[in-house]
Amino acid sequence: MSDAPSTRADDLGLSGKVAIVTGGGAPDDGIGNGRAAAMLLARAGASVLVVDIVAEAAAQTVAMIAQEGGTAAAFVADVIDEGQCRAIVDAALARFGRLDLLDNNVGIGARGSVVDTPVEDWRRVMQVNVDSMFLVSRFAIPAMIETAGGGAIVNVSSISALRPRGLTAYSTSKGAVIALTRAMAVDHGPDGIRVNCVAPGPVYTPRMYTRQMSAAGREARRQASVLGIEGVGWDIGHAVRFLLSNEARYITGQTLVVDGGATLVGPGRAPG
Residue 9 is predicted with a pLDDT of: 47
Residue 160 · residue 147 · CB < 8 Å: no
Residue 214 is predicted with a pLDDT of: 74
Residue 218 is predicted with a pLDDT of: 74
Given the residues 170, 204, 209, 250, the one annotated as active site? 170
C-alpha–C-alpha distance, residues 52 and 58, integer Å? 5
Residue 205 is predicted with a pLDDT of: 74
Question: Does residue 170 have an active-site annotation?
Answer: yes
Residue 44 is predicted with a pLDDT of: 97
Type and span of the H or E element at 220: helix 215-223
At 151 the three-state DSSP class reads strand
Give the CA dihedral 94, 97, 101, 106, nearest 10 degrees: -10
For residue 262, the 8-state DSSP code is G
pTM of the shown model? 0.91
Domains of the chain: 13-261 (3.40.50.720)
pLDDT, mean of each 10-residue run, the chain (272 residues): 50 94 95 97 98 98 98 98 98 98 95 94 97 98 98 97 91 98 98 98 76 73 84 96 97 97 71 38
Residue 210 is predicted with a pLDDT of: 61
